[in-house]
Amino acid sequence: GNSVTQMEGPVTLSEEAFLTINCTYTATGYPSLFWYVQYPGEGLQLLLKATKADDKGSNKGFEATYRKETTSFHLEKGSVQVSDSAVYFCALGRGDYKLSFGAGTTVTVRA
Amino acid sequence: NAGVTQTPKFQVLKTGQSMTLQCAQDMNHNSMYWYRQDPGMGLRLIYYSASEGTTDKGEVPNGYNVSRLNKREFSLRLESAAPSQTSVYFCASSESASRQETQYFGPGTRLLVL
């Protein structure tokens, strides 16, 4: 079936540290891949997406590359800020129009 | 633009009570979704509506019903609430039902069933 597995948290970092959150997927066909972010007390919002293999999504200093050979879509940011503290969800857009979400990774950035 | 709005923000119910969660979007989107979010489980799809006039079950539909009232509004009803339905509920919408489309989420409704 279609599913997403992402790195368990919580992750605690100091400001300006490098952040990586691993995400791997299992899918039939050609899914799209997304990273959504949820700030405290809010709904989810799209951070970035990639719709085909080798595409790179980027936004707000975050990047992720759709790797078909390793079935991965790891999220990276070179220098995190306190404002990046949030829960990050990897998601897979399936052929039946539904999104499959990972369990979420809580990231806390300390000043 | 308000985007996706949900009411109420927070609700406490007793077991067996019923309630309807309201959702509206002002982006002229065709597709709408209801999810529940539970700790450690990500978001799970309850029901969705690919277009006005259609609704379909998602992964966890038991105990819920939905109504696509018009293109803007998509409500979720709990007929007889159970403690297992304690969760945070999110409504979302997208321009169309496509694996490439971004979904836009509301702020959520926190539901506690005692």
Residue of chain B with shortest Cα separation from A8: B40
CB contact under 8 A, A43 and B42: no
Distance from C-alpha of A79 to C-alpha of A87, rounded to nearest angstrom: 17
Residues A7-55: pLDDT tens digits? Answer: 888 999 999 999 999 999 998 888 999 999 999 888 899 999 999 999 9
When comparing pLDDT for A1 and B26, which is higher? B26
Total CB pairs under 8 A between chain A and B: 56
Please, how many CA atoms are within 13 Å of residue A107, restricted to the half-sphere of its CB? 29
In order along its 114 residues, chain B shows pLDDT tens digits of 689 999 999 999 999 999 999 999 999 999 999 999 998 888 999 999 999 999 999 999 999 999 999 999 999 999 999 999 999 999 999 998 877 789 999 999 999 999
How far does CA B20 lie from the centroid of its chain?
Answer: 10
- For residue A10, whether the previous peptide bond is cis, meaning omega lies within 30 degrees of 0, is yes
CB contact under 8 A, B45 and A93: no
What pLDDT, on a 0 to 100 scale, did the predictor assign at position B22? 97
Residue ranges of E strands in B29-108: 31-37, 43-49, 56-57, 64-68, 74-78, 87-94, 104-105
